[in-house]
Amino acid sequence: MTPKRNTVPSIRAMKGTRRIGMVTAYDYPSGRLADAAGADVILVGDSLGMVVLGYPDTLSVTVEDMLHHTRAVARGAVQTSLIVGDMPYLSYHVSVEESVRNAGRFIQAGAHAVKVEGGKPSRIKTIQAILDAEIPVMGHIGLTPQSVNALGGFRLQGKNNDDARRLIDEAIALAQAGCFAIVLEMVPSELAAIITERINIPTIGIGAGPHCDGQVLVWHDILGLYDGHTPKFVRRYANVGADMQSAIGQYLADVREGRFPDDATEAYHTANDEELKRIYGAAGVALDVPPKALN
Ligand code: KIV
């Protein structure tokens, strides 16, 4: 029997039942592999900007960039994973109408839901309008990378009581607005535990400790493919970057040393060998094609 695709209600229903495994993906192969590995949710994250496009932060990522990559992930992840498209900076900040239209473009690109950062009252209004257009929304609070300039860096959030209280209020507001899950990024484990207990939708942690209903990590961090700063909450499960570099290095050495391609196993041959040599292989046969003859 073909396994069924996770849905927004099925992910929501996992709260209190089993932990949710979410991972980012950015293209056809990562979408296909994450799906085949059994990811409950695949996030086409705007971390794309840093780990795929080489920007120092996520702020330069555009809706067009995100849609291009969402389409590729959707072509790869065709089995069970729910696909969430991350709305990039400026795509939901200007007006409610523009935000709804941009969110809809993600759905048309193959996402099943969108993720929006922040939980202040004006953001809740925008999220309600997106939900009103039948587009499921995943919230994201704590360290919200699109606010890196306002926050003064990629740092732990909710450290003092006032900030902790604000984050609890935002989580409750997002849940009451109708979000189906909330990412908690870089907040103390104890605060994540309180938020997880206080709301009736799943929390998905990243640098938020083990008490969340699920966890998310960035594809390149899990696999050892990113050479930028790696925060302490990342667990690296492979060193694929080093393997890739070594494989490409071996290929280049084989080319330079004449070991690739092998004429017996990695090349095509013609039955016309003798004739070809007889006609064209003899010294003195003019092989230069005058440019005119190409027209
Ligand atoms: O863009 C992203 O990858 C994210 C996750 C880290 C939650 O927002």
The structural domains of the chain, ordered by start, are 8-238 (3.20.20.60)
Average pLDDT, the chain: 95
Residue 281's pLDDT is what?
A: 82
pLDDT, average across residues 230-258 = 97
Higher pLDDT, residue 285 or 241: 241
Span from the CA of 59 to the centroid of ligand 1 (angstroms)? 13
Q: Rounded distance, CA 243 to CA 232, Å?
A: 23
List 64, 97, 98, 185, catalytic entry: 185
Question: Please, which pLDDT band fits residue 292 given cuts at 50, 70 and 90?
Answer: low
Q: What is the pLDDT of residues 198-239, one digit of tens each?
A: 999 999 999 999 999 999 999 999 999 998 899 999 999 999
Residue 228's pLDDT is what?
A: 87
Q: Is residue 170 helix, strand or coil?
A: helix
Q: Rounded distance, CA 293 to CA 6, Å?
A: 60
Residue 242's pLDDT is what?
A: 97
Listed in sequence order, the residues at least 6 apart from 222 whose beta carbon sits closer than 8 Å to its beta carbon are 23, 234, 235, 236, 237, 238
Q: Rounded distance, CA 239 to CA 243, Å?
A: 7
pLDDT, average across residues 63-76 = 98
Q: Rounded distance, CA 218 to CA 212, Å?
A: 17
pLDDT, average across residues 73-99 = 98
pLDDT, average across residues 117-124 = 98
Q: Is residue 94 helix, strand or coil?
A: coil
Question: Please, which pLDDT band fits residue 289 given cuts at 50, 70 and 90?
Answer: low
Which one of 47, 69, 140 would you pick to mutate in the ligand 1 pocket, going by the greatest count of ligand atoms within 8 A of its CB?
Answer: 47
Span from the CA of 121 to the centroid of ligand 1 (angstroms)? 22
Q: What is the pLDDT of residues 147-169, one digit of tens each?
A: 999 999 999 999 999 999 999 99
